Structure 1
Amino acid sequence: MTNFYVVATPIGNLGDISQRALNVLREVDLVLAEDTRTTKNLLNHFGIEKPIVSYHQHSKISKINEILAMLRNGQNLALVSDAGTPGISDPGGQLVEAIVRELGDLVKIEPIPGPSAITAIASVCGFPMDRFLFLGFPPAKNKRKKFFEEVIASKYPVILYESCHRILKTLGELKEVCSFPERKERTSFQIVVGRELTKKFETIYRGTLNEVAKEIENDKVGGNIKGEFVVAIDKK
């Protein structure tokens, strides 16, 4: 049977990759990567030489068909994202869906679990995390108000992703939605924001929306808000 592996890779610290992930990357015929340059650097670091083919959010249906053809021909493939676990807020899910739909039991789809910013922030946020809601990235333009209304309406802690370019905008808009006049209930929120998790300059901010936004704003003045952010929010 042909194998298709969904392989988690480090979110920053290369020491977090699993031995099983390395074994799979050494054994497969080809690696599908969100960014071939990033994945090539990862493979080079561990002395792995494999063909790498790009698969990302702008890939067309023809690319999916090419991948399906490889699997039909018996090639064992591994899918990786730039960081973390594929299929979670990245285009890997669409590819897995196509494989299930088109190839069914002809291909064994196997998860190779590992690092994830979601579980990383959940483990250190200090909120009750037996249940939580993950919402991915806020919309870049349209429907942002609706997105943040869903955040503050949740009965459970919420985790979301954001880029360094929009983190302050997102915190500001979230604060605006919390204070809309039509909101009869005035609920305070605690927030934990992780920046550059597992990397050298990892920073975890804790406090109210105002407090955390002010800390990040101060770091921005110092030029220190590069990288991706993961945000955990809970009502208090």
Structure 2
Amino acid sequence: MKDHQRYIRIDQGYIMAALFDIRSPEENPVQIISLIGIILLLVFYSDISTPLGLMTWILYFIPLVMTLYLRWQYSPFVVTGISILFIIVSFFFSPRDMSEFYALVNRSFFCLLLIVLASLIWSNKRRVSFLQISKDKFQAIVESSPLSIIIITGEDVRYINPAGLDLITGDSQPGSVDFWIHLFSPDNYEMIRSGIMKAREGAMIELSDLKFGIRESKNQIADLWIKEVVWDKTSAIQLIIRIQT
């Protein structure tokens, strides 16, 4: 199972899942922090060494954007604070080639932009953090659910939760939709295939009191829910099997 988000809702015996790609970039915190520090110092040195009217300070956007690669939520505000401090210091030491008033206005406006961008990055980090927590919680729900959950794309099975694996025995290879269909009674084959086709058109299919476990010689009675979901940005079919007790 790839690193994607699963929002899962349990309602009247079925689970509806939607996946969102929120991959966090690969990060090496020490290298990134070091690089941010080096860029901040280089921009500061460049700004303090060039005329007041040369907008070298606009390069402070670079280290701020790089905080996207750090998991610490408040890193954008730290980098913004350092950048603003450097901008203020360089204002007093840069060679004069223009009106100090206009230079101050330009730098003040840029500092405001830095704060706005830092707030947007911080908001995005909070969203990603929340989604990661939600993923862990709902993944735990799926893994511990007594309902068997199978995700199918095309004719191939992409995911089976532990309860689903408990439905099969021996060295069975539940890698295709046919395997799961043939666990039911032959009388139900066409009904289930028809349900899968309708689910691909957007319908939510519920089938009750089906004979299940024929291949495994269990002869159980099951309810089946079939629903179209999104898996890895691709349309997929979700089968929910509940064994009646």
- TM-score category by the smaller chain? under 0.3
Greater C-alpha radius of gyration: 2
What TM-score, normalized by structure 2, do the two folds share?
Answer: 0.22
What TM-score, normalized by structure 1, do the two folds share?
Answer: 0.23
